[in-house]
Amino acid sequence: MSSPRSEGYKEFVKQKMAREWDFPVWTLNELQTCRRHCYPDVPIETINERYRMYGGVARSVFDIVSNPMEKALTDVDAVKGVRNIGFTIKLSANTHTLLHTIVSDDGQYKFLHVDISSRYVGEQLWQRHSAQMITNMQQMFDGIPTKISRHLFEIYGHVVFCTGGQTLKCRCLKDGTVTKITLDALNGQRITFGIDTIPTAAALDGNYYEPTNDNNFAAIDSLSRQGMFQFTVAAEHPIREVDILTKLCNLYDEPKLYFVVPPHQFEGFKKQSFNPIDGTEQHFDNVGICQDITPDNFESNLAVIIETHKLQITAQLYVQTLLQIYVVVYSKPGKVLYFVMAALFRDIIRGLLQWFTGFDIQ
């Protein structure tokens, strides 16, 4: 085994005798097991906290004396390195602290992509280097969507929406109607919840909620009294977890699902399909809204998109923030049940919906 930077490895490469593997990051369970057998004197709370900051790199988690994270977060060049990166060999040590190499889980250990080390890193990057992060994001958006761009965009979105107070202006993509609405001014705090701990409707007032693990909660990324939010940098983001979405819609008299998208998706972002129980896709008619926005402290001209699926409703929004929003609004919580039923009785339900709503659901 050898580092890819060693001279010996380079000689093997010349002779085509080298085979490369990338080490995967550790899971929290693996780190806790290692701590139990090898570092029993290190408090488990310390391991958990350093994992929250550094992610699954054992060297950083168990080296509780040094603090390379602070050095990395103050390194301007390292922060500039957080962008759309394909390979990591030439990155500085500080940039490696901020980024992780993600490898395949099929036993081949092949390089897949680079991602930020942790949500903590993403939040700190936005807090400390917001201007540089804007530049990084703009460069990322010039290419195809990546895990880094998706996660950083989502993290910034949470910061904006959990604070609120912004006014949103949107244009209806169907008829061009423009109106305004203001995001509720919140306290900047985020409350976590899970599938079994969905908040009550009353608890939404004045609060901002996000799932404990968005990888296992595909329905939405967050919710507040004003609606549910899904952050995406891709042109397509099918609506998933309809059963969970149905429960969430029961919290609202007029449920709204907001797709928050970056500027390059503004013009082309269209009504989204949903994946019902059987995994197939369906599309439904709706109304889209969009608008150009300019943040007060950045030289960016971005947009907001809102889409509705509500009888005789035109949703409108105006925002002065770094984001764009795309919204789906259901007339009643029960409307989502149509989608669940469609997975089982697609032809019958499609005809009923077309007759009842006037929408041709494909």
Please provide the DSSP assignment of 294-322 as one string.
--TTS---EEEEEEEBSTT--------SS
Indicate left, alpha or beta for 55 from its phi (over 0: left) and psi (-120 to 50: alpha).
Answer: left
Q: How far is the C-alpha of 215 from the C-alpha of 232, rounded, in Å?
A: 13
Model pLDDT, residue 43? 95
Model pLDDT, residue 337? 33
Average pLDDT of span 42-48: 95
Q: Where are the beta strands (DSSP E) in the chain?
A: 99-103, 111-116, 167-172, 178-182, 191-193, 208-211, 222-224, 227-231, 256-261, 287-293, 302-308, 324-329
- Judged against a pLDDT cut of 70, whether residue 332 lies above it is answered with no
Model pLDDT, residue 131? 84
pLDDT, tens digit, 9 for 90 and up, residues 57-116: 999 999 988 899 999 999 999 998 887 565 545 667 888 899 988 888 888 888 888 889
Model pTM?
0.70
- Judged against a pLDDT cut of 50, whether residue 158 lies above it is answered with yes
Q: Write the CB contacts of 209 (distance below 8 Å, at least 6 apart in sequence).
A: 190, 191, 192, 193, 199, 222, 223, 224
pLDDT, tens digit, 9 for 90 and up, residues 166-191: 766 555 555 556 566 678 899 889 99
The answer to whether 31 and 58 have CB atoms below 8 angstroms apart is: yes
Name the pLDDT band for 13 (thresholds 50, 70, 90): confident
Question: How far are the Cα atoms of 270, 290, 335 from residue 173, in angstroms, in the given order?
Answer: 9, 6, 22
CA 63 from chain center: how many Å? 30
The answer to whether 354 and 327 have CB atoms below 8 angstroms apart is: no
Task: To the nearest 10°, report the CA torsion of 236, 237, 242, 244.
Answer: -170
The answer to whether 231 and 153 have CB atoms below 8 angstroms apart is: yes
Name the pLDDT band for 322 (thresholds 50, 70, 90): very low
Instruction: For residue 356, give the amino acid letter.
Output: F
Model pLDDT, residue 335? 40
pLDDT, tens digit, 9 for 90 and up, residues 211-225: 987 556 777 899 999
Q: How far is the C-alpha of 337 from the C-alpha of 242, rounded, in Å?
A: 8
- Judged against a pLDDT cut of 80, whether residue 241 lies above it is answered with no
Average pLDDT, the chain: 72
* 165-178 per-residue burial string, b: 16 or more CB within 10 A, e: under 16: ebebbbbbbeeeeb
pLDDT, tens digit, 9 for 90 and up, residues 282-298: 443 333 333 332 233 32
Average pLDDT of span 16-31: 85
Instruction: Choose the most confident range, by mean pLDDT, from 12-21, 142-151, 152-161, 194-203.
Output: 194-203
